[in-house]
Amino acid sequence: MQIKELGHLVLYVRDVGRSAAFYRDVLGWRQIMPDPAGSASSRVRAAAFSAGQRTHHELLLLEVGENAVPIPTGRRVGMYHFGLKVGDSDDELREAFAHITKAGVKIVGASDHTITHSLYIQDPDGNEIELYVDVPGIDWKTDPTLVAAPIRPLRL
């Protein structure tokens, strides 16, 4: 067996409406289920998103309610973050920075990974998200050691 690609990510969220609004309205992801313009009379406890390029959906949110146990802080087993590519240049990362800052999203980190430039944010439930661009001219395919290059502060 060989893994071909990461297909999708499923997250438990407290309030699917609140989280769907974050991923749709702040991050600009296309919501494919339920139709955000549809009727609110039938309460759907899930939302799916797709960039429409590669697969049917990349993200699925499942509502577990406001009383769900929060993500523990500090060293723990489980997901650290997931990455979303937002462009191909620092100018596009600056645009993402301005957009999310205007939306009131707090930046929790910023790193120069040599192969990528990254901003780190959290969704309404505390799931960490890396917004990144691949650095032009860095050939990590020819030199895979660049993937493990020391992390430096990001200067946008």
Are 30 and 92 members of one domain?
no
Are 149 and 98 members of one domain?
yes
Are 89 and 127 members of one domain?
yes
Cα-only R_g, the chain: 17
CATH code (residue 89): 3.10.180.10
Environment class of 31 (CB within 10 Å of its CB; exposed 0-12, middle 13-18, buried 19+): buried
Are 85 and 141 members of one domain?
yes
Cβ neighbors of 116 (< 8 A, separation 6 or more) are 132, 133, 134, 135
Q: Which of 6, 26, 18 is nearest to 124 (CA)?
A: 18
Are 15 and 42 members of one domain?
yes
What are the phi and psi torsion angles at 98 (to 5°)?
-60, -40
Are 45 and 85 members of one domain?
no
In a domain, 2, yes or no: no
Are 50 and 114 members of one domain?
no
Q: How far apart are CA 67 and CA 128, in angstroms?
A: 20
Residues of the chain with pLDDT > 90, as a percent, come to 82
Residue 120 contacts residue 112 (beta carbons within 8 Å): no
In a domain, 75, yes or no: no
Are 148 and 104 members of one domain?
yes
Q: Which domain holds residue 20?
A: 9-63
Task: Supply the pLDDT for residue 35.
Answer: 77
In a domain, 3, yes or no: no
In a domain, 74, yes or no: no
Residue reference for tokens 């723990």: 76
The 10s digit of each residue's pLDDT in 41-54 is 456 799 999 988 77
A 10 A CB-CB count for 89 gives: 13
Helices (H), 78-148: 90-102
The 10s digit of each residue's pLDDT in 78-134 is 999 999 999 999 999 999 999 999 999 999 999 999 999 999 999 999 999 999 999
Are 90 and 33 members of one domain?
no
In a domain, 134, yes or no: yes
Domain total in the chain: 2
Q: How far apart are CA 36 and CA 27, in angstroms?
A: 15
A 10 A CB-CB count for 131 gives: 24
CATH code (residue 52): 3.30.720
